[in-house]
Chain A
């Protein structure tokens, strides 16, 4: 959706971390991206190298960890994992599901020298 501006947000977090921890260079960054976060991973990878240029994370490796979509089923009252927002409940087949997780967009950790 807006991968370039997401990268700019990440860059600003990384620069703050670099200053706080007195890092020379950030070599690797791991993100956790939920199934429903609306993040287009190839677009994020593309934006990464462009946006990180001139920062402490220039040339860093980007790793993305997928987190599953989760939802609460209104009919069987179970929390279930679902493939996409319109998937039926894997337990009871109901279509009345309220997403409860999977919209995460988190910077998990980073590796620096």
Chain B
């Protein structure tokens, strides 16, 4: 069983944390506390007078503590730190999400080549291997590979550490290539400006309907490998309709990283986002 997702069947291996070495976590706690004793007066019935000061059906008055905390608050805290850091430097950060094999890395390699002098840095997330970071570094752009091990997504903490290894200058673009997975990365904010979903035409027009969470979270969808559309009975208009069905405000670009079709529109989108980000920074 995947110890992070809880998906699949098999043995449970317990859980472990892997950090960059500068954190030490210990989950052991000493127990053996004195217990509180209460004196009760049973002649009257009062509600809301317990230690909690409130009454919730089904819950005893032992001690009720309202928390109202998002479960992902810890991740969101790291993401907010990342966002502050990126804003301070005027860096545009895009979280690239997709299924495995949609052509993210090829699109990135071609994008970096086309951007020329524009400073770019890449964080590559995969379960294993440094293959993708090696492909990016071959273009001359700095890249950090984050291997999540058993993990199915990048989180704010991992990205914060990865950013420490990149010399992010003002006006640069940071591409965060998430783990190929259309489920979990939707929920984890990394501090990015936008999620960009990349789909390849071979995945089928109903992909957005099958994984709506991700396409709801994304601002832009890139329909990649359009050169293959004539070979695989795909109707690109239906593909776009399905994307807009799950997210009426999503922007869609049709691109072939291989032939270069549609790359101009993608580069124009990037330039506009970067100008907006650095313009905002200059205005403040």
Taking beta carbons and an 8 Å cutoff, which residues of A are in contact with B? Answer: 1-6, 8-13, 15, 17, 21, 23-25, 27-28, 30-31, 36-38, 40, 43-44, 46-47, 50-51, 54-56, 74, 85-86, 95-99, 103-113
Taking beta carbons and an 8 Å cutoff, which residues of B are in contact with A? Answer: 2-7, 12, 14-15, 27-29, 33-36, 56, 59-60, 62-75, 151-153, 183-184, 186-187, 209, 212-213, 216, 244-249
Number of A-B residue pairs having CB atoms within 8 Å of each other in the complex: 139
Residues B71 and A31 in contact, CB atoms below 8 Å apart? yes
Between-chain CB contacts (< 8 Å), 23 pairs? A1-B7, A2-B4, A2-B187, A3-B6, A9-B74, A15-B29, A21-B63, A24-B33, A25-B33, A31-B71, A37-B187, A51-B15, A54-B29, A85-B216, A103-B187, A106-B69, A107-B68, A109-B56, A109-B59, A109-B64, A109-B67, A111-B65, A112-B62
Q: Chain A CB within 10 Å — which of B33, B62, B65 has the most?
A: B65
Residues A2 and B5 in contact, CB atoms below 8 Å apart? yes
Residues B70 and A106 in contact, CB atoms below 8 Å apart? yes
Residues B71 and A6 in contact, CB atoms below 8 Å apart? yes
Residues A8 and B68 in contact, CB atoms below 8 Å apart? no
Chain A residue at minimum C-beta to C-beta distance from B214: A38
Residues A46 and B62 in contact, CB atoms below 8 Å apart? no
Docked Cα-Cα span, A31 to B186, in Å, equals 20
Docked Cα-Cα span, A4 to B221, in Å, equals 29
The 3 closest A-B pairs by CB, nearest first: A43-B6, A85-B212, A24-B33
Residues B248 and A96 in contact, CB atoms below 8 Å apart? yes
| B153 contact set on A, CB distance < 8 A | 2
| B64 contact set on A, CB distance < 8 A | 109-111
| B60 contact set on A, CB distance < 8 A | 111
| A103 contact set on B, CB distance < 8 A | 187
Interface of A is mostly: mixed
Instruction: Take A12-B74, A28-B59, A98-B249 as given contacts and tell me if A86 and B68 are in contact as well, using a CB distance cutoff of 8 Å.
Output: no
Instruction: Take A2-B184, A36-B213, A98-B247 as given contacts and tell me if A27 and B14 are in contact as well, using a CB distance cutoff of 8 Å.
Output: no
Instruction: Take A105-B72, A108-B66, A112-B62 as given contacts and tell me if A86 and B27 are in contact as well, using a CB distance cutoff of 8 Å.
Output: no
Chain B residue at minimum C-beta to C-beta distance from A21: B65
**Minimal beta-carbon separation of A113 from chain B (angstroms):** 5
| A21 contact set on B, CB distance < 8 A | 63, 65
Contact of A113 among B36, B72, B73, B213 (CB under 8 A): B36
| A9 contact set on B, CB distance < 8 A | 71-75
Chain B residue at minimum C-beta to C-beta distance from A28: B59
Docked Cα-Cα span, A98 to B246, in Å, equals 8
Chain A residue at minimum C-beta to C-beta distance from B70: A106
Docked Cα-Cα span, A105 to B72, in Å, equals 8
| A27 contact set on B, CB distance < 8 A | 62
Instruction: Take A3-B5, A111-B62 as given contacts and tell me if A13 and B245 are in contact as well, using a CB distance cutoff of 8 Å.
Output: no
Docked Cα-Cα span, A47 to B2, in Å, equals 11
| B59 contact set on A, CB distance < 8 A | 28, 30, 109, 111
Q: A1-B183, A86-B246, A105-B72 are in contact. List 15 more A-B contacts (CB 8 A).
A: A1-B5, A2-B184, A4-B2, A4-B4, A5-B4, A13-B67, A17-B67, A24-B36, A28-B59, A36-B213, A85-B216, A96-B245, A111-B64, A112-B62, A113-B36
Residues A40 and B248 in contact, CB atoms below 8 Å apart? no
Chain B residue at minimum C-beta to C-beta distance from A112: B63
Residues A109 and B71 in contact, CB atoms below 8 Å apart? no
Docked Cα-Cα span, A2 to B143, in Å, equals 27
Residues A112 and B65 in contact, CB atoms below 8 Å apart? yes
Residues B65 and A109 in contact, CB atoms below 8 Å apart? yes
Residues A97 and B35 in contact, CB atoms below 8 Å apart? no
